[in-house]
Amino acid sequence: MKRIILLTALTIGMLFCLATSSYATGLSSNLVTNGDGDNWGIWNKDTSGSYVDHWSQLSDLGGTAGYAPVSPFDSGAIGDNEFFDFWDNSTTNKTGCLYQDIVLTDTTGSLFSDIDAGNIGLNAQAYIFKYLPGDGGTIQIKFLDGSGSEIAVGPYRSSRDTNDLSNWELVQVQHVPVPSGARTIRVMLIAYAPDGNSYVDFDGIDVELCNLPDISIANSTANHTYNGTQTITMSGTASDPDGLPVTVSAAISGITQSTTIASGAAWNLSWDIASLGITDGDYTNIQVTADNGKGIRTATYTGTLAVDGTAPAASSLSPSDNATNVGVNDNLVINFSENVVVGTGNITIKKTSDDSMVETIDVTGGKVTGSDTSAITVDPATTLDGETGYYVVIDATAFSDTAGNSYAGISSSSAWNFTTADITAPTVSSIDRNSPAGESTNATSVTYRVTFSEAVTGVDTSDFTLTETGTAHGIIAAVSAGSGTTIDVTVSGITGDGTLRLDLNSSGTGITDDAGNALATGYTSGQTYTFDTTAPTGGSISINSGADYTTSTSVTLTLSATGASEMMVSEDSGFSGASYEAYSTSKSFTLSSGDGIKTVYAKYKDAAGNETSATISDTITLVTTAATYTVTYNGNGSSSGSVPIDRTSYNSGDTVTVAGNGGGLTKTGYTFTGWNTAANGSGTTYAAGSGTFIISADTTLYAKWVLNTASAAADLSFLYVSPGTLSPGFSASETEYTVSVGNLKDSMTVTACVYDTSATLKINGETPTVTGAVYGEYAATIDLEVGSNNIISVEVTARDGTTTKTYTITATRAAASHHSSSGGGGGSGGSNSSTTTDKTTTKVVVNGEEYNAGTTTTTTEGSRTVTIVTVDDDKIEALLEAKGNNTTVEIPISSTTDIAEGVLSGQTIKNMEAKAAVLVVKTDTISYTLPASEIDIDSVSEQIGAQAALKDIAIHVIIAAPPADTVKIVTDTADKNSYQIVVNPVEFEIICTNGDKTVEVSKFKAYVERTIAIPEGVDPLKITTAVVLNADGTLTHVPTQIISIDGKYYAKINSLTNSTYTVIYNPKEFKDVENHWAKEVVNDMGSRLVINGIGGENFAPDKDVTRAEFAAIMVKALGLKAGSGASGFDDVKSSDWYSGYIKTAAEYGIISGYANGSFGPADKITREQAMTMIARAMKITGLKAELAAGEEEKLLSGYEDREVLAEYARSGIAECIKTGVVSGNSSTGIAPKDNISRAEVAVMVRRLLQKSGLI
């Protein structure tokens, strides 16, 4: 049987460790710790001396209920072996206890008083030897009072042995305070065995009494508050009666701090809140212990230590973040999560829009209140702006809580935002016409739209009044809605003619905005309706200028009606399927198919909606049979004989055999040498009676005359006037001409060239200025009087000295009118009577802003309306000073007028020139934009004369519908060349006058821009170019772009001259470029009239170009006019077809000729020559190509043939390469000496125009 044995080596001892006295236990002197286990009998024996079995069930220690332990002694008694048996028979989990009471005796008289005062402590310990698998043993201490009753403290247990160790282990009961009244100490030995294989051996039991240390806490009742950055401290003194060192400890927030001091010394404990992680809260009744190693004395800190490591936060803001409708004088309130006190720093208010400072408020000043509360109020001194966003910034040092934790402040511009309330009174932005939209109307009811600066309420009919002119009268009948930003006001019951304007009363309206702000002021600047019940008058229509017949269904209608704004045309007298379109004096129209008489009807409507009622029509006969052509022979100045008559009707492609001179044509001083397609002999010559050609159009053949040595020729080869256009066109055999000019054209230059350079001529009996002696060219300027009595004679005397011929020009100068317009290149005839309306104040637009700085006068002269806007020079001068440089002055003029004219003084132009200002004269469909410097007022002043002050020179900038005869020249030329006219011709002029002195500005140093609106319905893709009307009646290209402005298409024209312009559609496709690399470019330049074909349908793209041809192409491409007179080169005759182009190219610096004074027109042009001319042209187009130092060499360095470049051409070639207009013919070669082909020229020229932004 296994046994648990308690060996007799158990020793019971008492050790008293009090500093100054020892206490006897009152036990028998036989209780000695001699280690042999004797004297067991002292433990709990009864009065008979028998040992008592004190095993008992201790359920609180894990004993098993119902277990009855057996006797612990072997043989039933204690003998020398002194075994204490405790074993396991069959039941597990048994607990046993043996205890001894130690009765205390007070031998000194102070033990019991010390116990009762709490000054005595107890420690007990024992060594235990365990044998597996025993679970161990413990010591347990209890206290009894003097009557033997158990005191209700404890029990105090040692730690229970739970480790299976195969060795001795010390178990202890330490620092037990002996309770007041204790007179007996009960020491219990407790064993636990789970089964019969376990036993426990107790040995060396010691029980010890000791004195407890004394401890005091400084200011133990004081309250303190700490923030998260501070350190908690506690202090006091501690002493031990036995002089032992004392360890003082205490715990705050579960964190214990301790210190060991000498007896009687001061102690200090500290807790760094941040590093130790002391949690926020109030700590009170803090237990502070003093431990001398034997016993522990506890003192209590009864004050409160508050830890507050949390910074105050703004729990709410007033106004709240993103608040709206905040009062401009409202206080700012910050509600904090706890009470705060004012620190140092500022509260700043800023505008959200630009971060600008509004106010900086020192928190220590009187504008910030509420310190030591949770609500801080800020009273700004500044009244804020209404409807404005603000944000508030608060310094991080401005506020802190009572613990000293600083408020983080507000640094972000998005943390505290608000918008102030609306304090702005509403105003009226506009009162505009709404229904109908147009100004003129014949309606009896109209609607005005009133637009306010913001939404308003309280609007009714009583808030408005009508301003009436003429006999017009109406009643304010209704307001569509009484709130919102736009209000529609209906005026009904309208009668009479005149104008009505809706005005808003300035007071008493009751109109307010949503914020309650009352209307600030009234409004009297609204748009007006003009009421008109009279239909347009003088309506007419003409088909193809009154022609009797046409071979094409495409015709041009000439239309006219005074006061019309719209028109409708149709072949149906009931106008079935027709609709109104914008009024125009010219319209392309397609007749219905089928030969016969065609009638076209017209109806006109004015802006008010009044329609013409009378039948307005014209007729023309349509003949569309197969086209046939005729050949006509012209004697070309013959003096006798007759021309052949060819009555054959040729079909296209027939071969014509040229007639002989069967009529015996002669011309004094000349010899007949055949027939030529040009009167001056520059066309194709055919031998009389044998020459042949393929016919494709009506052809006129002119007799070709060769001057005899002793000539009697007195013919002119050329006759030209400026201004104006000769009618009919010049022919050597035609001696009578007429020309018409406007009133402002007070002189005319007549240029004439004799056929025989040995002949002489006089103009009006005077020998004129010789402008080209080599070629017999002369010019004279003739003053013109008003009327048709200006007879100019050009008398030619042949070299024989006797034969003469006189050419007569009858020049008509129009009568004066108030508008000073030249009337263009010719007059339309008819009455010169005029009527003038009253002057009205007109808006002039400066840098996009309107000013009352002009006066409008409208005159009706015959069937033409003239509208003149004269600017107020003083106002414009003041505006120029205010606006500074690069100002734009725009003169808007009604587009319904035939002639629009802006008038400024020379001084104003000079002022604008000094400010680099730009002048714009503009109608609804046309604009004319030119820098003031292009007028060159100094040159104008010099021509007029120094006696005239600049303020007395009137500058007339004119946009006009040309006279009928000019329009006819344009349409005839277009028809002859199969050009389709897209817009009606427009004439641009600048006339400078002072008294009877007139100077016309017709040429500019730089391109001047014009825009012409493309009519509605016209496909912008079917527009090729704008063209200019030349003095000889031809139409030539000007650089043109099609642009879109606000959804409407315009032709933007850039030109260096003034004249008459129109826009055409002229698609061109040359057959021989169909598969050529330059097909698209060649066809484009051909369509723009820049280049011509060869033989009509071909271009010969790879043929070399001559210098003359290149000069002509350049002049055409730039939109320049071919000059007249001598070109300045010895080898270029005035009669040469290219003479005018070479003259113009030289004038503009594009060409300079050879060093010997010749030009070499027939020479093939080389690539370097062409590139040099292109570079010079860049200066005209404004294409920037200036070379920096060293840039020329750098640009040319990549080309292997750069060394063979002519010196004069190097910079020009470099500029072409830089701009990308021209490059080498390979990646490494320029080929400067190679000739250039027609296709290459087309590409160069097109690229120049594109790079310059002209097409």
Torsion of CA 703, 706, 712, 715, to 10 degrees: 50
pTM above 0.75, yes or no: no
Q: pLDDT tens digits for 733-742?
A: 889 998 888 7
Mean pLDDT throughout 331-357? Answer: 95
Q: What is the spatial distance between Cα 48 and Cα 75, in angstroms, rounded to a whole number? A: 20
Report which DSSP code applies to 1208: G
Q: Tell me which of 26 and 242 has the higher pLDDT.
A: 242
Q: How confident is the model at residue 418 (pLDDT cuts 50, 70, 90)?
A: very high
Q: How confident is the model at residue 66 (pLDDT cuts 50, 70, 90)?
A: very low
Paired with 928 in beta bridges are 921, 1010
- What is the predicted pLDDT for the residue at 204? 58
- What is the predicted pLDDT for the residue at 29? 26
pLDDT cut 90: percent of the chain above it: 37
Tell me which of 158-167, 196-205, 621-630, 1115-1124 is least confident.
Answer: 158-167
Structural domains present in the chain: 4-211 (2.60.120), 215-308 (2.60.40.10), 314-420 (2.60.40.1220), 428-530 (2.60.40), 537-622 (2.60.40.10), 631-707 (no CATH), 716-813 (2.60.40), 834-1064 (no CATH), 1068-1251 (no CATH)
Under the phi-then-psi rule, with left for phi > 0, alpha for psi from -120 to 50, and beta for the rest, what region is 1190?
Answer: left
Amino acid at 18: L
Q: How confident is the model at residue 540 (pLDDT cuts 50, 70, 90)?
A: confident
Would you say how long the chain is, in residues?
Answer: 1255
Tell me which of 15-19, 128-132, 781-785 is least confident.
Answer: 15-19
CA neighbor of 1138 nearest in space, from 1117, 1123, 1120? 1123
CA neighbor of 375 nearest in space, from 330, 319, 333? 333
Beta strands 446-457 and 512-513 are: antiparallel
Q: How confident is the model at residue 883 (pLDDT cuts 50, 70, 90)?
A: confident
Q: pLDDT tens digits for 644-698?
A: 999 888 876 788 999 999 888 988 778 899 999 887 777 788 999 988 888 867 7
- What is the predicted pLDDT for the residue at 585? 93
Burial of residue 623, with CB atoms counted within 10 A of its CB: 0-12 exposed, 13-18 middle, 19 or more buried? exposed
Alpha-carbon Rg for the chain, nearest whole angstrom, is 61
- What is the predicted pLDDT for the residue at 90? 42
Q: How confident is the model at residue 705 (pLDDT cuts 50, 70, 90)?
A: confident
Q: What is the spatial distance between Cα 977 and Cα 315, in angstroms, rounded to a whole number? A: 87
Q: Tell me which of 170 and 1004 has the higher pLDDT.
A: 1004
244 and 290 in contact (C-beta within 8 Å)?
A: no
CA neighbor of 585 nearest in space, from 825, 897, 829? 897
- What is the predicted pLDDT for the residue at 253? 92
Rounded to 5 degrees, φ, ψ at 503 are -115, 145
Burial of residue 578, with CB atoms counted within 10 A of its CB: 0-12 exposed, 13-18 middle, 19 or more buried? middle
Q: Tell me which of 1 and 24 has the higher pLDDT.
A: 24
* pLDDT higher than 90, residue 267: yes
- What is the predicted pLDDT for the residue at 967? 86
- What is the predicted pLDDT for the residue at 549? 65
Mean pLDDT throughout 887-901? Answer: 87
- What is the predicted pLDDT for the residue at 12? 31
* pLDDT higher than 80, residue 53: no
Mean pLDDT throughout 63-69? Answer: 32
- What is the predicted pLDDT for the residue at 1031? 76
Q: pLDDT tens digits for 722-731?
A: 788 888 888 8
- What is the predicted pLDDT for the residue at 105? 82
Buried b (16+ CB within 10 A) or exposed e, 1023-1043: bbbbbbbbbbbbbbbbbbbbe
- What is the predicted pLDDT for the residue at 206? 74
Tell me which of 199-208, 251-260, 302-311 is least confident.
Answer: 199-208
Mean pLDDT throughout 852-859? Answer: 89
Cα distances (angstroms) measured from residue 1203 to each of 303, 1207, 1218, 1229: 106, 9, 19, 11
Burial of residue 1255, with CB atoms counted within 10 A of its CB: 0-12 exposed, 13-18 middle, 19 or more buried? buried
Residues 6+ apart with CB under 8 A from 539: 560, 561, 564, 602, 603, 604, 612, 614, 616
Mean pLDDT throughout 849-863? Answer: 85
Residue 595, CA atoms < 13 Å, CB-side half-sphere: 6
* pLDDT higher than 90, residue 321: yes
Q: pLDDT tens digits for 1025-1084?
A: 999 988 777 889 999 988 888 888 889 999 988 889 999 999 888 888 888 888 888 999
- What is the predicted pLDDT for the residue at 413? 93
Supply the mean pLDDT for the chain. Answer: 82
- What is the predicted pLDDT for the residue at 51? 33
- What is the predicted pLDDT for the residue at 159? 62
- What is the predicted pLDDT for the residue at 681? 79
Mean pLDDT throughout 817-832? Answer: 39
Find tokens 């035939």 and name the residue.
898
Highest mean pLDDT among 171-185, 455-469, 937-951: 455-469
- What is the predicted pLDDT for the residue at 42? 31
* pLDDT higher than 60, residue 179: yes
- Which runs of consecutive H residues, i.e. helices, occur in 927-1029? 937-944, 964-976
Q: Tell me which of 757 and 1149 has the higher pLDDT.
A: 1149
Token pair for residue 1229? 């070669």
- What is the predicted pLDDT for the residue at 627? 56
CA angle 80, 86, 90 (to 5 degrees): 140
Q: pLDDT tens digits for 976-1005?
A: 888 899 999 999 999 999 888 888 898 888
